[in-house]
Amino acid sequence: MQKQSLILMQALLGVISANFRMIYLQQDGESIIVTIMLESEDEDDLEEIEDLKSEFEALQESPIDYDFIIKITDADLSWPDDNIVVVFKRREF
């Protein structure tokens, strides 16, 4: 999972805007799930996420099973479970 975290961080370069709240990875069997939490729905961010998916796949050494989940919420965020790797979390006051 560490390798996938590094690949995701590389793919994220230049993608994150002020609307991004948290991005994390988790493994579900053989599949990698990337969850992106946005504060509000924004067409530019959603377009960037589509490009991110392509970049993430292109950086893989071999084909992998993965899925991206986008959640839009302005509610308080709690730190995810132990089996989840947080790649980005915005500082919130």
**Contact indicator for 65, 31 with CB cutoff of 8 Å:** yes
Residue 86 · residue 79 · CB < 8 Å: yes
Q: Where in the chain are the domains?
A: 2-89
Does the structure show a pLDDT above 90 at 83?
no
For 2-89, CATH number? 3.30.460
pLDDT of 62 reads: 92
Q: pLDDT for 3-22, tens place per residue? A: 999 999 999 999 999 999 99
The amino acid at residue 87 is V
* CB contact at 8 A, 45 and 23: no
Cα 1 to Cα 68: distance, rounded to the nearest angstrom = 15
Predicted TM-score of the model (pTM)? 0.92
Distance set, CA 45 to CA 6, 14, 81 (Å): 21, 11, 26
